[in-house]
Amino acid sequence: METEAYNGIIDKASHSYGNRITPRTKTMFMQGGVAYVYLCYGIHEMFNIVTSVEGQPHAILIRAIQPIEGIEAMLYRRNMVALKPNITKGPGSVAKALGISRAINAISLQSDTLWIEDRGLTFTDAEIAAVPRVGVDYAGVDALLPYRFYVKGNPYVSKPNK
């Protein structure tokens, strides 16, 4: 219910800014449809979806989801006894709840391990907020780009704008 977009080599908030190719960022340069999973602050795994053509490192960070299936497994992974919004509120929580780690970095999102399904869920433009991203102040003017999208009023959104 919440994502952030990263616009490749021209986006100062992107790991691939300036065409930076490292062992970590090389996944971003792959054909879209794979997972880009990296460690943030030495603590949290972060799940992104590579979205463009090979050589063009665009990705979407999954910041929050609303759990519908697999809730028992998510509760176990998050060491929680009851379903609360913080189970998948924030990108580190999303990856942990879904059991996503760097071990599956670069895996196809059409695999038996990790996939995305179209469940027919739709939202109107009025239901979606487009605002600046979180935690990228170092990116200067690019930090102000409205590349963060979330469903207004959804309790699983990590940092709702007031």
State residue 81's pLDDT score. 97
Residue in 48, 11, 10 with CA at minimum distance from that of residue 32 = 48
Q: What is the pLDDT of residue 159?
A: 80
pLDDT of residue 42: 83
**Do residues 60 and 3 lie in contact, with contact meaning Cβ atoms separated by under 8 Å?**
yes
pLDDT for 161 beyond 80: no
Identify whether 72 is part of a domain.
yes
Read off the pLDDT of each residue in 27-54 and give the average, rounded to a whole number: 96
Answer whether residue 162 is part of any domain: no
pLDDT digit string, tens, across residues 102-123: 999 999 999 999 999 999 999 9
The CATH number linked to 43 is 3.10.300.10
pLDDT at 41 over 90: no
The tally of domains found in the chain comes to 1
Q: How far is CA 156 from CA 2, 34, 48, 84, in A?
A: 8, 24, 18, 9
Where in the sequence is the domain holding 95, given as residue range(s)?
2-151
